[in-house]
Every structure is written in structure tokens, then in C-alpha cells.
DNA sequence: CTGGTGACTTATC
DNA sequence: AGATAAGCCACCA
């Protein structure tokens, strides 16, 4: 367990319902602006153990990044359930839903 | 230990 | 604007 991991977990846990964050933002807030991959790995790895809202994390385009259809569908449903309108391509309107902790 | 990969991002061409 | 390269670091073979 590294400090980076703990930060990432804390950041993801702080994402309010109905809002999303990008991997890049999380990585930057955690201390490594280009460590988006680690965020992904941590998320994938810890979401199950820490009950993290991984469905509130999307890529830089504001789209669902998952490759697995089942998980993709699960994220889609979770977002819709929180009031986030997801496009048919899994694209989310970042201008509306992107949560910036600094601008909170 | 070495090497390759990944639910990604940003900068350059 | 689409394609390429480099960066990041944990995990698995």
C-alpha cells in the first residue's frame, strides 16, 4: 500500500453522487499528474475491497472507459441511477457533471 | 530480477 | 483533428 494509493482511494471516496471525475484529475490530485494508469489499476483492484464508487470515474473524454460490456453496463446503470445522463456511446457531459474539488 | 501490459493522459507531428 | 510517442507505476508471467 503506497501513499499514492491511499490518496487515490480518498479522492474517489470524496466524489459526490451525481458527479464524475477523470483519471487525470485524480492522478494529479494524488501527486502524479501522469499516473492515470495507476489510478486505473488501484481503482480496479481496490473498488471491490473498499467499496469505491468506481462508476463515478471516467476518462478524459468524459466517456466510460471500460472494455468489458458487463461492467460497462453496470457503470452506465449506476450513473443513470444517480441522475447522470449518459449518452448512447457512454459519453457524459463533463461541463455539467465533472466535479472539481478545488472549485467546490 | 527482467519484461510486458493496462478501465489512461498529455504533448507533438 | 487523427495518429504517435512517452510517461506513470503496480501486477503477473
- What pLDDT shows up at residue A51? 87
Does position A103 have pLDDT exceeding 70, yes or no?
Answer: no
Q: Stretch A48-64: mean pLDDT, rounded?
A: 91
A17-52 as b/e: b if 16+ CB within 10 A: eebbbbbebbbbbbebeebbebbbebbeebbeeeeb
A28: the nucleotide nearest its CA (via C1') is B9
CATH topology of domain A3-103: Arc Repressor Mutant, subunit A (1.10.10)
Q: Would you say A64 and A90 are in contact if contact means Cβ atoms under 8 Å apart?
A: yes
- Strand C surroundings (CB within 7 A): A 2, 4-5, 32, 34-38, 41-42, 45
Beta strands in chain A (DSSP E): 21-22, 57-58
In tens, the pLDDT along A30-50 reads 888 889 999 998 888 888 888
Domain boundaries, chain A: 3-103
| Minimum-distance nucleotide, CA of A35 to C1' | C8
Residue nearest to nucleotide C6 (CA to C1'): A34
Nearest to A42 by CA among A27, A31, A25: A27
* Residue at minimum CA to C1' distance from nucleotide C9: A38
At A35, list the grid cell: 499516473
Amino acid at each position: 500500500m503506497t501513499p499514492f494509493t491511499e490518496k487515490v482511494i480518498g479522492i474517489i471516496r470524496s466524489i459526490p453522487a451525481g458527479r464524475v471525475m477523470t483519471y487525470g484529475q485524480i492522478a494529479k490530485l494524488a501527486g502524479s499528474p501522469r499516473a492515470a494508469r495507476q489510478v486505473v489499476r488501484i481503482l480496479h483492484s481496490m473498488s471491490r475491497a473498499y467499496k469505491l464508487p468506481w462508476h463515478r470515474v471516467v476518462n478524459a473524454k468524459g466517456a466510460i472507459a471500460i472494455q468489458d460490456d458487463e461492467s460497462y453496463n453496470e457503470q452506465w446503470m449506476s450513473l443513470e441511477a444517480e441522475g447522470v445522463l449518459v449518452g448512447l456511446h457512454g459519453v457524459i457531459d463533463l461541463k455539467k457533471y465533472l466535479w472539481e474539488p478545488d472549485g467546490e
